[in-house]
Structure 1
Amino acid sequence: MNSINDYYVLSNGGKIPCIGFGTWKLPEADTTVDIIKTAIDCGYRHIDTAFMYGNEKSVGKAIRTCGLKRNELFVTSKLSNNSHGYEKTMKEFEMTMENLDIEYLDLYLIHWPRPLAIRDMWKEANEGTWKAFEELYKAGKIKAIGVSNFLETHLEALLETATVAPMVNQLELHPQFVQRDIVEYCKNHRIIVEAYSPLIRGDFSHPVLVETAKKYNKSVAQVLLRWSIQHGFIPLPKASKRERIIENADIFDFQLSDEDIEAMKVLEAKGSIGSHPDTAPF
Structure 2
Amino acid sequence: MADVYTNPEKHVILHNNVKMPILGLGTSHDGGYSHEAVVYALKNCGYRHIDTAKRYGCEKYIAQAIKASGVSSEDVFLTTKCWPTDYGTNTTREAFNGSCQRLGVNTLDLYLLHWPDVPSGVRDKNSLLLDTWRTLELLLDEERVRSIGVSNFLEPHLEVILNECSVVPHVNQCEFHPYNNPKKLRSYCKERNIQFEGYCPLGNGQILTEPSIQDIAQKHSKSPAQILIRWNLQNRVVCIPKSTKNHRVKENSEVFDFELRTEDMDTLNNMTREIQIMDPSTIQAKIDNPLPDGYKLKLVQIPVEP
The answer to whether TM tops 0.5 is yes
Q: Which amino acid aligns with 2:247?
A: E
Quickly say closer, same or farther: Cα 1:175–1:25, change in 2 above 3 A.
same
- 1:155-170 map, 5 Å: 155-170=158-173
Question: Is this contact kept in 1: 2:12–2:236, CA < 8 A?
Answer: no
For the residue of structure 1 that corresponds to 2:259, the secondary structure is coil
- Cα distance, 1:186 vs structure 2: 1.0
Q: Residue 49 of structure 2 is aligned with which of 46, 51, 58?
A: 46
For the residue of structure 1 that corresponds to 2:71, the secondary structure is coil
- Cα distance, 1:114 vs structure 2: 1.5
For the residue of structure 2 that corresponds to 1:170, the secondary structure is strand
Q: Residue 202 of structure 1 is aligned with which of 164, 187, 205?
A: 205
Question: What is the CA–CA distance in structure 2 between the aligned matches of 1:108 and 1:58, rounded to whole Å?
Answer: 18
Number of aligned residue pairs: give it. 280
For the residue of structure 2 that corresponds to 1:269, the secondary structure is coil
- Cα distance, 1:262 vs structure 2: 2.7
Q: Which residue of 2 aligns with 1:57?
A: 60
Question: Is this contact kept in 2: 1:8–1:16, CA < 8 A?
Answer: yes
Question: What is the CA–CA distance in structure 2 between the aligned matches of 1:37 and 1:26, rounded to whole Å?
Answer: 19
Q: Which residue of 1 aligns with 2:90?
A: 87
Quickly say closer, same or farther: Cα 1:97–1:124, change in 2 above 3 A.
same
- Root-mean-square deviation (Å): 2.4
**Is 1:103 the counterpart of 2:100 in the alignment?**
no
Quickly say closer, same or farther: Cα 1:46–1:270, change in 2 above 3 A.
same
- Cα distance, 1:4 vs structure 2: 9.5
Q: Deviations over 1:33-82 (max 9, x none)?
A: 32211110110000000011110110122223321222211000000121
Quickly say closer, same or farther: Cα 1:27–1:174, change in 2 above 3 A.
closer
- 1:132-147 map, 5 Å: 132-147=135-150
Question: Is this contact kept in 1: 2:27–2:51, CA < 8 A?
Answer: yes
* TM-score normalised to structure 1 length: 0.91
Quickly say closer, same or farther: Cα 1:156–1:278, change in 2 above 3 A.
farther
Question: What is the CA–CA distance in structure 1 between the aligned matches of 2:46 and 2:176, rounded to whole Å?
Answer: 23
Question: Is this contact kept in 2: 1:4–1:19, CA < 8 A?
Answer: no
Q: Which runs of 5+ in 2 are unaligned?
A: 287-306
Question: What is the CA–CA distance in structure 1 between the aligned matches of 2:235 and 2:9, rounded to whole Å?
Answer: 18
- Cα distance, 1:267 vs structure 2: 3.7
Q: Which amino acid aligns with 2:253?
A: A
Greater CA drift, 227-236 or 120-129: 120-129
Question: Is this contact kept in 1: 2:25–2:240, CA < 8 A?
Answer: yes
Q: Which amino acid aligns with 2:39?
A: K
User: Which structure has more RCO (C-alpha within 8 Å, separation ≥ 6)?
Assistant: 2
Q: Which amino acid aligns with 1:182?
A: L
Q: Which runs of 5+ in 1 are unaligned?
A: none
Q: Which residue of 2 aligns with 1:68?
A: 71
Question: Is this contact kept in 1: 2:120–2:284, CA < 8 A?
Answer: no
Question: Is this contact kept in 1: 2:81–2:113, CA < 8 A?
Answer: yes
**Is 1:218 the counterpart of 2:225 in the alignment?**
no
For the residue of structure 1 that corresponds to 2:47, the secondary structure is coil
- Cα distance, 1:270 vs structure 2: 2.4
Question: What is the CA–CA distance in structure 2 between the aligned matches of 1:265 and 1:193, rounded to whole Å?
Answer: 15
For the residue of structure 2 that corresponds to 1:82, the secondary structure is helix
**Is 1:275 the counterpart of 2:279 in the alignment?**
yes
